[in-house]
């Protein structure tokens, strides 16, 4: 059962100005990915990725295609080097990188789709009326109950990202999230940290964005996945194109079941997780879920070459 490999891909929050520059410089296959992104979008996304400013990169409509581009550029440099996944998964936006890795979506279609996804998510809720916060130390069920109780009085607030034991992100109306900040201790939270985001992602307030995204996904050529993809919405492997399309729409307003996805992969025999993309956020989460698995972060030329060099 064991000795299976999962490729995992980060989502929003992992971005940094200059990410992927060394890969662009070093590998022609990676350079092609950045060039394809610029061409597909009709502007120099690569310039924002490499040079910023950070305020531009931080805009959701730029962040999403930027992170996808860096992940796929690293993935292309990895291809044909003897490392292949048995499963793939991505955190929120990272699911699109996973779908490219699984052959279900072309990179050009993916980059255009996530650009639109970012715009729709930014536009779904008027600025300042939605919010998100990270809740540390609370049990999932207790926090879900608290959110349900607060939603009735303070305004909608829901579980958005189940990241790892003791780290859950809530999302919803600014007033609802503020109520969780004030009353989080009722659910056993040690701390509640408001997040700097442009909207209440992965909450029911995102349904207008999901409806618009459904129209874009109708135009995208989605194929059956050659490698099973763990869907954020269900934490179950999917391969059928019709399921992938439907789940990508639901994903916008549903919680990201990251902890459940990682546990499912381990249950399926995965003992090595390879995080491909900017930063090492997922590596940290995976280690908090299960210390016994191997986690490799590939986020630079150096880490990529090190991962491929046999030990000893």
The H or E element containing residue 163 is: strand 157-164
Find the catalytic residue in 30, 202, 203, 254. Answer: 202
User: Would you list the DSSP string of 88-155?
Assistant: EEESTTHHHHHHHHTTSB-HHHHHHHHHHHHHHHHHSS-TTSEEEEEEES--HHHHHHHHHHHHHHT-
**Structural tokens at position 137:** 């130390």
Q: Determine whether 91 is an active site residue.
A: no
* Whole-angstrom distance, CA of residue 98 vs CA of residue 276: 10
* Whole-angstrom distance, CA of residue 263 vs CA of residue 220: 31
The strand pairing partners of 252, in sequence order, are: none
**Structural tokens at position 48:** 């924002």
* Whole-angstrom distance, CA of residue 146 vs CA of residue 138: 10
Number of Cα atoms under 13 Å in the Cβ half of residue 145: 10
Find the catalytic residue in 46, 71, 92, 261. Answer: 92
The residues that are catalytic are 92, 202
């Amino acid at each position: 059962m064991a000795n299976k490999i999962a490729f995992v891909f980060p989502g929003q929050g992992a971005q940094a100005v200059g990410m992927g520059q060394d890969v662009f410089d070093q590998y022609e296959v990676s350079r092609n990915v950045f060039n394809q992104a610029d061409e597909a979008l009709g502007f120099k996304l690569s310039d924002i990725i490499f040079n910023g400013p950070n305020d531009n990169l931080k805009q959701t409509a730029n962040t999403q295609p930027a992170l996808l581009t860096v992940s796929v550029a690293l993935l292309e440099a990895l291809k044909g080097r003897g490392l292949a996944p048995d499963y793939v998964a991505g955190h929120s936006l990272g699911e699109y990188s996973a779908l490219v890795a699984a052959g279900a979506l072309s990179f050009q279609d993916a980059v255009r789709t996530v650009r639109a996804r970012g715009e729709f998510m930014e536009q779904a809720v008027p600025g300042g009326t939605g919010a998100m916060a990270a809740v540390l130390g609370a049990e999932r069920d207790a926090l879900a109950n608290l959110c349900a109780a607060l939603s009735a009085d303070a305004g909608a607030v829901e579980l958005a990202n189940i990241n790892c034991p003791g780290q859950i992100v809530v999302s919803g109306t600014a007033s609802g999230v503020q109520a969780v900040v004030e009353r989080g201790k009722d659910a056993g939270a040690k701390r509640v940290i408001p997040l700097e985001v442009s909207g209440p992602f992965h909450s029911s307030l995102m349904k207008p964005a999901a409806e618009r995204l459904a129209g874009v996904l109708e135009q995208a050529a989605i194929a059956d996945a050659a490698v099973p993809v763990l869907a954020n919405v269900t934490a179950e492997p999917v391969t059928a194109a019709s399921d992938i399309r439907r789940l990508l729409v639901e994903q916008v307003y549903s919680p990201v079941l990251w902890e459940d996805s990682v546990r499912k992969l381990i249950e399926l025999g995965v003992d090595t997780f390879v995080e491909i993309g900017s930063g090492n956020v997922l590596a940290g989460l995976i280690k908090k879920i299960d210390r016994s698995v191997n986690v490799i972060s590939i986020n630079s030329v150096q880490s990529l070459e090190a991962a491929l060099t046999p030990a000893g």
